[in-house]
């Protein structure tokens, strides 16, 4: 049967290279199922569809092709990607010969051994799910700000996800690893949304929407979510379970606040963190209202110690012990000029917000000092 | 005694950062002697001298300073480098307090714990050795072209060095790991030179002379060599032993030669190497005079195969099996437009030379095919 349906087509190196760049990373040579290290090439509606999956996530990309004959085949993702990316710009001819793919250009004649497309696992289609749209740049920025707080610890699967949910007709995104929490307010929305999407899948979403300025379509049912950006599509399995009621952790008021130039606070935190290597990143942040200053103190019993200070606009005085990496992550998630740092007692959460906007908040739990 | 000689000085962040960038990499936290992970700071002739050593190599750098009191101290190299590189540009005050170094700027007050300079190992001075000069850019290019062929295998120490030697009043540099050989002709020289310098030390030389346009002074005796580039100085122990008589390996004539555009040959070699992963990089290079072409054929039994071709100026026909990485290394060591590839029988050396100049040659031993 297979020699009857042997695809044959021409594509440009530029388009195929771009498609493989978006798709091939999901394919893994470490997968238990060898075919998961392959990409699936198939002709659909006179276009070439390139896709890969790791069974949790599937990404596919359609590209224009001059199709002479239909068919489908899977070939090693890494080889094809490295190969196509090394080829000069111009037309590439792809021709299927049973389970082999012939790749021909002016200077190259290659044969890549593949595996029948019949064995390639396909994620089930989303039937009759909820659908909504969101601007690509907004989703991109929100993901960049929130993903940092998701947990990498698989022992609590719920915390490895980002929680998309509506509150009073407004869409929010939140993530927490129980040491820090990030929440972003997105857009007004008629649909009721309550989705827990793996952070790993959203890192791939971030990659595929990177330079996509248009609207992203999001479709989801009980099991899966799909993000569609033009010719690229990502499907991911949702995480099951109830997300913690994180909003009760957001402090309503603060005994001490400081308005701080963000990039300068990043600098003194970075320098302080050098002295905090021995103490697992522990630094003491002090705000002093009388002297209008913020201090960061780090002590390394072996190496030495460091005191760094900045002039700030302070209300109230106090100090708190933080993990310097979490403070840096939070500050770097906000590309604004000035941030407000607010805290209460030594064991209560610190909150960082944009001085000029209230659509993002970042909370860090203190270390015991 | 130590509290009597406590150095105190001011330097600019820019100068100290540059000095640490050149010196600190030699210090290693994995050294058996803990003090080798430190840099030595000492005042000499009213300037600050920053140095580090791993007992095989020592690098030191002098910089201008406003010296209030003399003294010396060693402090952890990595911490000081990371710290100083994170500080804003401007004046830094350094003050020794017994075995501690106080580092103060407008925003920072730090204390770095050090170790007494008395314990710091110093490499012996070179007394009454031979001395000559060479232009920085020439030495840099030569090292870039030759170092690639030196061996990393410590079981034959002689091959881990680069051989500097004079033949009929001309200085040559050569390196070989027994699979390939690179030789560069440098300058006419009155002195008789025969030096075997560790490739690892020369990688550091390459680093310190990187943007140095002036002359480098080279001084050597039986045990050591010193390279001096302005305020920076590197001393390395020489390798003992006789270098092989490599010049007898240089072929005098070729049955087959091809004049090839270098960057295009790099491209088809790179693409071919993707298909040569299974066969440890083995590719077959064929030159065909009648069709005026060069072919590279690579076969991966699992993955597939690749044929790549280029139009060339060919004399004679033949083919030879090479390690694609060695071919790439050789081609990339030559930043010229066109190269000549010459070879004889299947078991004899292939030689690559610049079509326009004869000051560099690169020889690769073939693989058994």
Residue-wise pLDDT for A138-160, tens only, equals 999 999 999 999 999 999 999 99
The pLDDT assigned to A49 comes to 97
Does residue B216 fall inside a structural domain?
Answer: yes
* Long-range own/partner contacts, residues A187-194 (CB < 8 A, 24 or more apart): A187/A134, A187/A138, A189/A132, A191/A130, A191/A132, A191/A166, A192/A166, A193/A130, A193/A132, A193/A164, A193/A165, A193/A166, A194/A164, A194/A165, A194/A166
Of B82, B274, B309, the CB nearest to A83: B274
Q: Do the Cβ atoms of A306 and B108 come within 8 Å?
A: yes
Which of A275-284, B146-155, B216-225 shows the lowest mean pLDDT across its residues?
Answer: A275-284
Q: Is A35 touching B (CB cutoff 8 A)?
A: no
Q: Do the Cβ atoms of B268 and A107 come within 8 Å?
A: yes
Q: Is A153 touching B (CB cutoff 8 A)?
A: no
Q: Do the Cβ atoms of A303 and B268 come within 8 Å?
A: no
Q: Do the Cβ atoms of B270 and A86 come within 8 Å?
A: yes
Q: Do the Cβ atoms of B307 and A108 come within 8 Å?
A: yes
Q: Is A98 touching B (CB cutoff 8 A)?
A: no
Q: What is the mean pLDDT of residues A340-348?
A: 95
- What secondary structure letter does DSSP report for A191? S
The answer on B229 and B216 residing in a single domain is yes
Which of A93, A119, A145 finishes a domain? A119
Does residue A207 fall inside a structural domain?
Answer: yes
CA nearest to B201, candidates B229, B162, B241, B170: B162
Shortest Cα distance, chain B CAs vs residue A318, angstroms = 20
Shortest Cα distance, chain A CAs vs residue B195, angstroms = 41
Query: Rounded to the nearest 5°, which phi and psi values hold at B59?
Result: -120, 135
Q: Could you read off the pLDDT of A89-141 as tens digits, one per residue? A: 999 999 999 999 999 998 899 999 999 999 999 888 898 899 999 999 999 99
The answer on B155 and B46 residing in a single domain is no
The tokens for B272 are: 């071919």
The answer, yes or no, to whether residue A216 has pLDDT greater than 80, is yes
The answer on A347 and A332 residing in a single domain is yes
Shortest Cα distance, chain B CAs vs residue A92, angstroms = 14
Q: Where does residue B210 rank: exposed (0-12), middle (13-18), buried (19+ CB within 10 A)? A: exposed
Does residue A51 fall inside a structural domain?
Answer: yes
CA-angle at A102, arms to A97 and A103, nearest 5°: 160
The tokens for A256 are: 């001490």
The answer on A147 and A237 residing in a single domain is yes
Q: Report, in this order, helix, strand and coil percent for chain B, each rounded to 5.
A: 25, 45, 35
Yes or no: say if A303 and A269 are a contact pair by the CB < 8 Å rule. Answer: no
Of residues B124 and B44, more confidently modeled: B44
Assign residue B89 the CATH number of its domain.
3.10.150.10
The pLDDT assigned to A25 comes to 93
The tokens for A159 are: 């915390």
Q: Report, in this order, helix, strand and coil percent for chain A, each rounded to 5.
A: 25, 45, 35
Yes or no: say if B343 and B256 are a contact pair by the CB < 8 Å rule. Answer: yes
Count of A–B CB contacts within 8 Å? 88
Q: Is B302 touching A (CB cutoff 8 A)?
A: yes
Does residue B1 fall inside a structural domain?
Answer: no
Does residue A3 fall inside a structural domain?
Answer: no
Q: What is the mean pLDDT of residues B125-129?
A: 86
The Cβ of residue A190 has, within 10 Å, a number of other Cβ atoms equal to 7
Q: What is the mean pLDDT of residues B234-252?
A: 96
Yes or no: say if A162 and A345 are a contact pair by the CB < 8 Å rule. Answer: no
Complex ipTM > 0.90: no
Q: Is A113 touching B (CB cutoff 8 A)?
A: yes
The tokens for B87 are: 């500080």
Q: Do the Cβ atoms of B110 and A270 come within 8 Å?
A: no
Does residue B125 fall inside a structural domain?
Answer: no
> B234: domain range?
130-248
Residue A162 to residues A195, B28, B67, B258, Cα–Cα distance (Å):
8, 41, 56, 59
Of A83, A303, A307, the CB nearest to B108: A307
The answer on B327 and B237 residing in a single domain is no
Which of A100, A119, A138 finishes a domain? A119
Yes or no: say if A216 and A227 are a contact pair by the CB < 8 Å rule. Answer: yes
Q: Could you read off the pLDDT of B316-366 as tens digits, one per residue? A: 999 999 999 999 999 999 989 999 999 998 999 999 999 999 999 999 999
CA nearest to A221, candidates A206, A234, A238: A238
- Between CA A171 and CA A155 the distance in angstroms is 28
Yes or no: say if B226 and B234 are a contact pair by the CB < 8 Å rule. Answer: yes
The answer on A301 and A201 residing in a single domain is no
Q: What is the mean pLDDT of residues A44-64?
A: 96
Which of A185, A214, A248 finishes a domain? A248
All residues of chain B having their beta carbon less than 8 Å from the beta carbon of residue A87 are 271
The answer on A237 and A137 residing in a single domain is yes
- Between CA A259 and CA A340 the distance in angstroms is 5
The tokens for B331 are: 């081609």
Of B267, B305, B307, the CB nearest to A86: B267
The pLDDT assigned to A149 comes to 98
The tokens for A287 are: 């705000």
The answer, yes or no, to whether residue A171 has pLDDT greater than 80, is yes
If DSSP states are collapsed to H, E and C, what string results for A209-278?
CCCCCCEEEEEECCCEEEEEECCEEEEEECCCCCCCCHHHHCCCCCCEEEEEEHHHHHHHHHHHHHCCCC
CA nearest to B256, candidates B300, B292, B220: B292
Does residue B124 fall inside a structural domain?
Answer: no
A167 - beta bridge partners? A170
The answer on A177 and A74 residing in a single domain is no
Residue B286 to residues A110, B324, B344, Cα–Cα distance (Å):
17, 13, 12
Shortest Cα distance, chain B CAs vs residue A108, angstroms = 4
The answer on B263 and B242 residing in a single domain is no
Q: Do the Cβ atoms of B108 and A304 come within 8 Å?
A: no
The answer, yes or no, to whether residue B240 has pLDDT greater than 70, is yes
Of A88, A112, A303, the CB nearest to B303: A112
All residues of chain B having their beta carbon less than 8 Å from the beta carbon of residue A268 are 107-108
List the single residue in B with minimal CA-CA distance to A79. Answer: B274
Of A109, A112, A270, the CB nearest to B307: A109
The answer on B12 and B93 residing in a single domain is yes
The answer on A113 and A146 residing in a single domain is no
B1 — pLDDT class (breaks 50, 70, 90): very low
Q: How many domains does chain A have?
A: 3
Of B79, B88, B274, the CB nearest to A82: B274
Does residue A301 fall inside a structural domain?
Answer: yes
- Between CA B27 and CA A359 the distance in angstroms is 47
Q: Is A275 touching B (CB cutoff 8 A)?
A: yes
All residues of chain A having their beta carbon less than 8 Å from the beta carbon of residue B113 are 302-304
Q: Do the Cβ atoms of B267 and A88 come within 8 Å?
A: yes
Who contacts B360 (Cβ-Cβ below 8 Å, separation ≥6)? Answer: B145, B182, B183, B184, B185, B333, B334, B353, B354
All residues of chain A having their beta carbon less than 8 Å from the beta carbon of residue B110 are 275, 304-307
Among left, alpha and beta (phi > 0; psi -120 to 50; other), residue B343 is: beta
Q: Is B80 touching A (CB cutoff 8 A)?
A: no
- Between CA B21 and CA B43 the distance in angstroms is 19
The answer on A327 and A315 residing in a single domain is yes
B4 — pLDDT class (breaks 50, 70, 90): low
pTM metric for this prediction: 0.89
């Amino acid at each position: 049967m297979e020699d009857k349906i042997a695809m044959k087509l021409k594509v440009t190196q530029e388009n195929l290279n771009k498609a493989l760049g978006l798709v091939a990373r999901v394919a893994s040579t470490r997968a238990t199922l060898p075919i998961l290290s392959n990409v699936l090439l198939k002709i659909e509606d006179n276009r070439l569809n390139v896709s890969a999956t790791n069974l949790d996530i599937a990404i596919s990309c359609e590209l224009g092709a001059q199709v002479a004959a239909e068919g489908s085949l899977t070939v090693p993702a890494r080889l094809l990607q490295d190969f196509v990316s090394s080829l000069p710009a111009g037309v590439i001819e792809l021709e299927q010969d049973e389970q082999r793919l012939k790749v021909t250009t002016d200077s190259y004649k290659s044969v890549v051994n593949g595996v029948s497309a019949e064995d390639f696992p396909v994620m089930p289609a989303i039937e009759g799910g909820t659908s909504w749209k969101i601007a690509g740049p907004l989703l991109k920025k929100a993901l960049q700000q929130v993903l940092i707080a998701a947990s990498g610890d698989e022992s609590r699967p719920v915390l490895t996800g980002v929680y998309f949910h509506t509150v009073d007709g407004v869409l929010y995104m939140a993530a927490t690893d129980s040491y820090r929490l990030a929440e972003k307010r997105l857009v007004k929305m008629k649909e009721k949304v309550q989705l827990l999407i793996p952070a790993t899948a959203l890192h791939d979403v971030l990659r595929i929407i990177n330079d996509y300025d248009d609207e992203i379509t999001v479709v989801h049912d009980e099991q899966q979510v799909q993000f569609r950006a033009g010719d690229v599509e990502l499907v991911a399995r949702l995480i099951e379970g109830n997300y913690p009621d994180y909003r009760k952790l957001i402090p309503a008021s603060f005994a001490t606040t400081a308005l701080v130039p963000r990039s300068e606070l990043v600098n003194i935190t970075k320098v302080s963190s050098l002295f905090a290597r021995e103490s697992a990143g522990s630094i003491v942040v002090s705000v002093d209202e009388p002297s209008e200053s913020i201090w960061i103190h780090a002590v390394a019993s072996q190496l030495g110690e460091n005191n760094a200070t900045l002039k700030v606009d302070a209300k109230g005085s106090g100090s708190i012990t933080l993990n310097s990496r979490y403070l840096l992550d939070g500050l770097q998630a906000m590309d604004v000029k000035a941030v407000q740092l607010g805290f209460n007692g030594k064991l209560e959460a610190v909150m960082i917000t944009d001085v000029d906007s209230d659509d993002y908040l970042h909370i860090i739990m203190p270390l015991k000092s």
